Structure 1
Amino acid sequence: MKQTYRAKTGFVLGWVWLAFVAFNVWDLIAHYNGKPSLVALAVLGALTALVYVIALRPATVFTEAGLVGRNPFRTTFVPWASVEDVTVSHSINVHHSGEQELRLWTPMSSARERARAQRRGMPKQERRGRFSAEPTLSRGEQAAAEAFAGKTHADWVGDQIRERSESARRRDEEATPARVSWSYDSIAMVAVAVALAIAAIVIA
């Protein structure tokens, strides 16, 4: 079963942008007025290509066989047994197949998210003021809170990668080299964006 992790804010904003573009394309076509409409369409197309590459395409995917890192222009598949170490800073860095490293674009941890996670990991008496009150949590909620205490979403995903790689090694799975392929959809989108930008300049 696949599990996919994305930058939720960027992903949602990307789809909001697509809805915005769809409405504006319809409006520009319905009220076409020559060069200004063509320039606006070209600009919208170029920006949409960038939004796709940066916000919609990146994802971290867990499969039964291994880890799939979808970055803007490349897709890397790393078998679980080939994962040697995982470090988490601003991004998740997966060390595999000797000297190689895969930097995942999502999820990432900002300085603000890291600060919030550190506050969650502090003892309760240090976090709450004298008159503050915290809601009573159920047993499941308390377990989840303890699991995430002091951790960002990126830290948690990094832990899951470590656990899966260790489990694969315990099953004596073969550590095979990672497979890297280009993202032809992203390359095509950027090519279209460049072509639209050039067209907008020429038309203007």
Structure 2
Amino acid sequence: MKSPQQPPAEPVYADRAYRSLSALMGGVLLLALTAWIGGDAVFQGEGRAPWIGIAGLVVLVPLIVAFTLRPAVFANDDRIRIRNPFRTITVPWAAVARVRAGYTSEVVTQVGAKYQLWAVPVSLRQRKIAARRQAKAARDEARGRGSDSAADSPVAPGDRTIAELRELAEQGASRPSAKGEPQVRWAYEVIGPVAVGAIALVVLLAVG
């Protein structure tokens, strides 16, 4: 007796990843500067200076990583995963009410909780540039002539990312695998070293 055929499994697609290139570059530069200054205090300092330098590095390095290299947004057909400096939030699309961008970009859940997308910054300057290109393309089209600006997407990069996430949310909201409650996990791998370094720094400065 033949077993009933199982319906074909839906294809699994890799997560789309969104990061801020400027934040990544700034983070690398800050880490290099911190390593240079802190390393000088550790290897060239006298007395308590090396220990203060070590404690300062334990505080600063995780903070720099948290605010520049760590933020990212990962999205697939079922959910969005938001990696912010101190938390990682996973929200199934069925639990998302809106994905929006005002002065900041954020996800709003069905129960009204808001989660900011650190990795998708909103640039008012880029919005103005995109608006000017859009207006120029509209004028050229009205005059019946083509324009290079019309070929470009007159949308700021941050708003384009929000539009892609909004489309994923709308498409995935009805999927059975996209249901569930938001999950929040604190980044103890960042919070722990910062707390330890801060305590050590305070003690070293107090006993000085």
Q: How much has 1:42 moved relative to structure 2? A: 3.0
CA distance, structure 2, for counterparts of residue 4 and residue 202 of structure 1: 44
Does the aligned pair in 1 maintain the 2:89–2:184 contact within 8 Å?
yes
Match of 1:131 in 2: none
- Confirm or deny that 1:190 pairs with 2:190: no
- Residue matched to 1:14: 27
> Secondary structure, in 3 states, of the residue corresponding to 1:121?
helix
- Judged with a 3 Å threshold, the aligned counterparts in structure 2 of structure 1 residues 119 and 136 are, in CA distance, closer, same or farther, namely closer
Residue 111 of structure 2, aligned match among 98, 103, 106: 98
Structure-1 separation of matches of 2:168 and 2:88: 20
**1:4 touches 1:59 (CA, 8 Å); kept in 2?**
yes
Alpha carbons of structure 1 residues 197 and 109: separation in structure 2 relative to 1, 3 Å: same
Equivalent pairs: percent with the same residue?
A: 26
Post-superposition offset of 1:25: 4.6
2:63 corresponds to: 50
Query: Cα deviations across residues 30-55 of structure 1 (Å, max 9, x unaligned)?
Result: 43422233333333432223212222
Deviation larger for 36-45 or 69-78:
36-45
1:167-186 matches, within 5 Å, as 167-171=171-175, 173-186=177-190
Structure showing greater Rg:
2
Corresponding residue for 2:87?
74
Q: Does the 8 Å contact 2:55/2:198 carry over to 1?
A: no
For residue 163 of structure 1, the aligned residue among 163, 167, 174 is: 167
Secondary structure at the aligned position of 2:82 is classed as strand
Q: Secondary structure at the match of 2:32?
A: helix
Gaps (5+ residues) in structure 2?
A: 1-13, 141-146
**Are 2:112 and 1:108 aligned?**
no
Does the 8 A contact of 1:81 with 1:173 survive in 2?
A: no
Amino acid at match of 1:88: A
**2:107–2:115 CA contact under 8 A, matched in 1:** yes
For the 8 Å contact 1:82–1:165, the answer to whether it is kept is no
2:96 aligns with: 83
Shift of residue 69, structure 1, vs aligned partner: 0.8
TM-score, length of structure 2 as denominator length: 0.75
**Runs of 4+ residues deviating >6 angstroms:** none
Cα-Cα RMSD: 2.8
- Assess if the C-alpha contact under 8 Å between 1:46 and 1:196 holds in 2: no
1:122 match: secondary structure = helix
Shift of 1:76: 0.8
- Structure 1 runs not aligned, ≥5 long: 128-134
Contact 1:6–1:106, Cα closer than 8 Å, also in 2: yes
Aligned length, in residue pairs: 189
TM-score by length of 1: 0.77
The alpha-carbon distance between structure 1 residues 174 and 79, as it changes in their structure 2 partners (threshold 3 A), is: closer
Cα 1:30–1:4 change in 2 (3 A) is same
Correspondence 1:36 to 2:49: yes
